Structure 1
């Protein structure tokens, strides 16, 4: 699980910007929203332009140099913060992996150029590479004794180098290291606002509707839409030697893509990714940017409930205040964000928040400040 994340000198983040998911409040309701003392379900609120999307991009910067999963370099063309004089961005990740505290820190001059890396498990530094001093890495994993430690390629992560060029001995430390990579490989960012884009998890593009047809999920997709309040009948029909999804109007068929609304298409993309999220151990962490931009508030709540039921750790950005309710999550799961800080509702007021409180009404009344 992701426990803490800190970034500085990246896009809109000038100084240290910390997301701390360990600051929970011990509420006795919606306890499933917290796992191992870490917030598992996160909703992020903030005015336009405070950097909610950039938070997702910052979190997923790690995908570029540690994985071979899907990337989008265009999103990272503007990399360093314009007000910061430093020549590199700094990233700090703290994870709970196999009940172990795993910390990974690195610095980059741009999306690809790695200046510094440090990796530790339970306080023991296992990898250090500081290219400001030399290209020689300190590597302490058992099974890497004969591994070359000089890494001249500044676009090559020393962690990825170890993963791809070592046969690590079987022990708890190395198992944690491998499971750390499994977590990173399972991270997924997506959005359907402005342009459809995703980071992580898979490599290459897939047509959502073709994927649904190929997996024989047309009827399941129809049921999903009906449960979401979109009454329709769907059918896979032949068109130009391939099957497409069409709306079925008593034997009159209209191609789905030509007739669906923006909201229905956003739901289609969610369904596409939700099929992967539901696969056991496939997805470790999900970030959905503006997840309900085209949804009715009841549908927004349904999506949150569906993700909760899966149990995956997720973070959603939204402007929808109707889902700020203790019936859905709890005050330490709703995070308020501005350009300099992000913290939960429970840490944004001196008042004691209880299950009976109408926290949406309190939010609109300005009871919370960040």
Structure 2
């Protein structure tokens, strides 16, 4: 599970921003039993939500985490170029490093890992481990200093580490095993980041194809039926064709950018997804079924819900942390709330999976799904700097407070300063100017 995320000098985040999934020391008995997991001596939230006005930066936290993971995964490659989008609305940030840090639980122990990068150079890097107390495993600033108890095991990897490469990535590149590899896998495989706008059905369909047992398919189908989308069955197949059947530029494009087509050995494997609906006669009697192509014939909301089911169920089955940008996009509020309930359900979320998402769905605030410290607001000041804060940090706000009312009143920020549309003036604009001559 993830305990905390930090970033600094990234996109609209100039100053250090912190997303904590650790409860503030107060009880809310009606929510705590469902919303809080205890692991490795730590109490952590299973879910958290982020609100904020358009262009205020609520997606940038997800992008910061994605950037961090990409650097961990790829900085070991010689041809990988680190490119960080730092804060650009002042004079000094372009000459300062960007910082990323994550604190997480692995094997009942708490680890804290982070780094600072300026242009293509790793300025600092650190890894801490906590059982009863926090101990530094290694620290990098100008040179890599390793804790005495780890020195014999890790020192041989120091000389192979480039200045544009993380030490953790270098150790993986040089085939280190055990604890360091487990940390790497935790960070690169157990954190899933999804864009709410970029719909991709691949993960859900692959989950069905790679599991021979019908239980996975039945689980996905049950979720689709619960959503009342009129679906009675699903069919996912791989259609193998000769690579010569498609133009070269399309084959190369898919080979580089997707995983649902395989052009190796002259073959092209395409995933076909069919959604089965019941068919009725004029008297309303069922007379059979009809197959619809998922992407061609179903609504964007259905495609979005199907696309999310794969990563969500994979997370729940394997104890992963899933971050969804714009969870509510194209989804009705009832579907959004059902997804949240999956993670807060003690009988379903048995491996302490986490869901962190941002949204514009204000109904969630009035439904009281979350403790105050599970709700974050991203505000932006007059200098274009985004700031992230938990409602749990505000004084005078208790569990009886109408959070939605206070948010709409602008008491937490993040609501925007939209002008009244009635203030627009069309007096000096002629019809010819609007419509053309």
Shorter-chain TM-score: what band?
A: 0.7 to 0.9
1:298 to 313, 331, 334: 334
**Of residues 111, 120, 126 in structure 2, which corresponds to 1:118?**
126
Q: 1:202 corresponds to which residue?
A: none
Deviation (angstroms), 1:243: 5.8
CA contact (8 A) 2:126 2:140 kept: yes
Question: In structure 2, what is the equivalent of residue 289 of structure 1?
Answer: 325
Task: Output the TM-score relative to the length of structure 1.
Answer: 0.80
Q: Which residue of 1 aligns with 2:7?
A: 7
Equivalent position of 1:351 in the other structure: 397
Map 1:232-311 onto structure 2 (within 5 A).
232-236=231-235, 244-248=273-277, 249=279, 250-281=288-319, 283=320, 285-309=321-345, 310=349, 311=352
**1:117-154 deviation per Cα after TM superposition (whole angstroms, max 9, x unaligned):** 12122433221222xx3xx4222315426614224523
Superposition map of 1:218-233 within 5 A: 218-233=217-232
Q: Distance in 2 between matches of 1:280 and 1:222?
A: 19
Cross-structure match for 2:138:
127
- Distance in 1 (alpha carbons) for counterparts of 2:29 and 2:399: 12
Unaligned runs of 5+ in 2: 241-270, 280-287, 381-385, 415-437
Q: What is the aligned counterpart of 1:338 among 379, 384, 397?
A: 379
The alignment of Structure 1 onto Structure 2 pairs a total of residues equal to 343
* Structure number with higher helix proportion: 2
SS at match of 2:363: helix
Partner residue in 2 for 1:171: none
Residues 7 and 56 (structure 1 numbering): CA distance in 2 closer, same or farther, change over 3 Å?
same
Relative distance call for 1:118 and 1:234 in structure 2 (3 A) is: same
Which sits farther off after the overlay, 242-251 or 101-110? 242-251
- Shift in Å, 1:257: 1.9
* DSSP-derived class of the 2:159 partner: coil
SS for the counterpart of 2:59 is: helix
The 2-side partners of 1:325 and 1:274 are apart by 24
Alignment of 1:12-31 (within 5 A): 12-24=12-24, 25-31=26-32
Distance in 2, Cα, partners of 1:37 & 1:239: 43
Larger Rg over CA atoms: 2
Which whole-Å CA distance do the structure 1 matches of 2:6 and 2:272 have between them? 46
Q: Deviations over 1:78-100 (max 9, x none)?
A: 61211314342112323344554
SS in 1 for 2:60: helix
- The CA RMSD over aligned residues, in Å, is 3.3
Instruction: After superposition, give the CA deviation of every residue in 1:46-98 in whole Å (9 maximum; x if it has no partner).
Output: 111111111011123231233369xxxx9x96612113143421123233445
> Quick one: structure 1 residues 103 and 44, their matched pair in 2 at CA, closer, same or farther if it must change by over 3 Å?
same
TM-score under structure 2 normalisation? 0.69
**In the alignment, structure 1 residue 104 sits paired with structure 2 residue 133:** no
> Residue 302 of structure 1: SS of its match in structure 2?
helix
2:363 to 322, 327, 352: 322
Q: Within 1, Cα distance between the matches of 2:399 and 2:14? A: 32
| Partner Cα separation in structure 2 for residue 369 and residue 344 of structure 1 | 11
Once the two structures are TM-superposed, the CA of residue 2 in structure 1 deviates from its matched residue by 2.4
Structure 1: 5+ residue stretches without partners: 169-173, 198-204
